[in-house]
Amino acid sequence: MITIIKIASSILVGFFAGPAIVYFFNRLPAKWLCDYGETPPTELTDPNVKRIKENPWRWVYAVGFICLCLRLSLANLVPSVVQGGHVFLSGLQAEPLSDLDCAQLALAGLVVCWLLLMIALADLKYMIIPDQFVIMLAISAIGFMPFRGNMMQPLLGLAIGGGAMLLLAGIGALAKRETIGFGDVKLCAALGLVLGVRGTICALILAVLAAGAYAAVGLARGRLKKTDHLPMGPFICGSAMAYIFIALW
């Protein structure tokens, strides 16, 4: 019966979470998608302009979030992933999880992935990472705190995520080339709070590999030039969501 409830709840939550991405992104305050002090263009202020088309994207996102919810809510039933009903988070000694604990982890993972998708869309379409979503992402780390062994894991994750991006930005500044924006630094710092040390390192490595592969293919096919600037936000967010979907449990 509990399994049936989990499946039904996952389908219901995912069905609403996906279309909510399109609904809220199309109605975000225009200033959230602009640099501070910049006047929003007509594209952002015109209520008749859809930033994301409702069809087919609301259904695409609905299917994606249904799969995510099913994965997160049923992960504790997979012996090869979670042995004996135990969870393995960075810095946490394995302890049995109750159904309530599993529900809390699944909800926290859902909220994080929802925010990451909003951030990825904003950076992909408008080359901006809204601070409001970064703050909400950092706050969402509270959902994982009860399952951490201590506060050092999220703090070290913050230092690694933000520090790595800050180092890349510094190298770019010395080379007089813009490599990483400060929005990416703040995003990775907030993500470090959520994923801890192991998750942050995995997500960063995967993001760099994905961005490198995309750039290589784009250059080979002539779709990209060496002077083009790729937003890193979608790669960072996509890698973090992949980690949550595949390896968090």
* C-alpha Rg value of the chain to the nearest Å: 19
What pTM does this model have? Answer: 0.88
Q: How far apart are the first and last CA of the chain?
A: 22
- The model's confidence at residue 76, banded by pLDDT at 50, 70 and 90, is low
d(CA 171, CA 180): 9
State what percent of residues in the chain have pLDDT above 90. 49
pLDDT tens for 178-230 read 677 888 999 999 999 999 898 999 999 999 999 989 989 888 888 888 777 88
pLDDT tens for 114-138 read 999 999 999 999 999 999 999 999 9
> Which token pair is 191?
């993500």
Contacts of 136 (CB under 8 A, 6+ apart): 115
Residue 65 above 90 pLDDT? yes
